[in-house]
Amino acid sequence: MAAKSHRQEGGSPRLEIRLGNNEVEWVLSDLDHGIPETVAGQERRDRIDFYFLLPQLRMALSSIPRPRTSHDPQLRLDPVNSQGFERTEGKRVRMVTPVCRFHPVDTVHLYSQTPPAFEAEAVDATLHLDFETGPKRIYGDEILEVHFGIEAEYTVSPLALAVPSSAVLSMTDSMYATIVRALTYSLR
């Protein structure tokens, strides 16, 4: 799945952060099927990626809910190079720098209404954070993007709910505070 974020697609991707009683939810909406990356001839089924243009993420950080607790350094792990491919043409995405990983993101729920409609669920996910370049063929010039990759063992099934296409990540308050702190320091 991917955000319909390119001007050519007329998308308006949204990230809404909801503070619940005992958890924080990130809800990404206005999503559509991406083109699965293949590894050794098999479609990858262990990753969902989303990207923010660097200036837009800097602006968005000023309006997200403040963490209700302090960060936990044990939830932040050393980065790995999670470099992948542009889905459309199979070109290598140029990694600028991996920042870190966060573990565990409690649950991930993906819902896609695009035929064939499906839902995917995972628990105990790892969230990768890094900086990559946005492709010149889309933006006219290489630009910096902030990449989030959610790695997990997903269970995929036909979509039984009448819900909009979206991705919902649930995490503890400590995890949310740890991610916000890492973003704040990385985007300076």
Domain range for 140: 2-186
Which has the closest alpha carbon to 147: 157, 134, 137?
134
Which has the closest alpha carbon to 107: 31, 13, 183, 20?
20
Which has the closest alpha carbon to 16: 1, 33, 31, 29?
29
Q: Which helix (H) or strand (E) holds 101?
A: strand 95-112
- The DSSP bridge pattern shows strands 24-29 and 14-19 to be antiparallel
Give the residue with greater pLDDT, 104 vs 142: 104
- pLDDT at position 178 is 97
The answer on pLDDT for 115 being more than 90 is no
**pLDDT, average across residues 177-184:** 94
Q: pLDDT tens digits for 49-76?
A: 887 878 878 888 888 999 999 999 999 9
Share of the chain above pLDDT 70, in %: 76
The answer on pLDDT for 140 being more than 80 is no
Question: Can you tell me the distance from the alpha carbon of 102 to that of 182, in angstroms, rounded to the nearest whole number?
Answer: 10
Q: Which helix (H) or strand (E) holds 139?
A: helix 136-139
Total number of domains constituting the chain: 1
CB of 108 within 8 A of CB of 121? yes
**pLDDT, average across residues 162-177:** 93
CB of 104 within 8 A of CB of 125? yes
Q: pLDDT tens digits for 94-111?
A: 556 778 999 999 999 998
Position 188 confidence tier, pLDDT thresholds 50, 70, 90: confident
The answer on pLDDT for 81 being more than 70 is no
Cα radius of gyration rounded to whole Å, the chain: 16
CA 151 to centroid of chain Cα atoms: 10
The answer on pLDDT for 14 being more than 70 is yes
Q: pTM for this one?
A: 0.82
Looking at this protein, which amino acid is placed at residue 124?
Answer: D
- pLDDT at position 124 is 96
- pLDDT at position 62 is 85
Q: How does DSSP assign 28-97, residue by residue?
A: EESEE-----EETTEE--SEEEEEEEHHHHHHHHTTSPPPSS---GGGEE-------B-TTT-PBP-EEE
CB of 184 within 8 A of CB of 117? no
Give the residue with greater pLDDT, 88 vs 100: 100
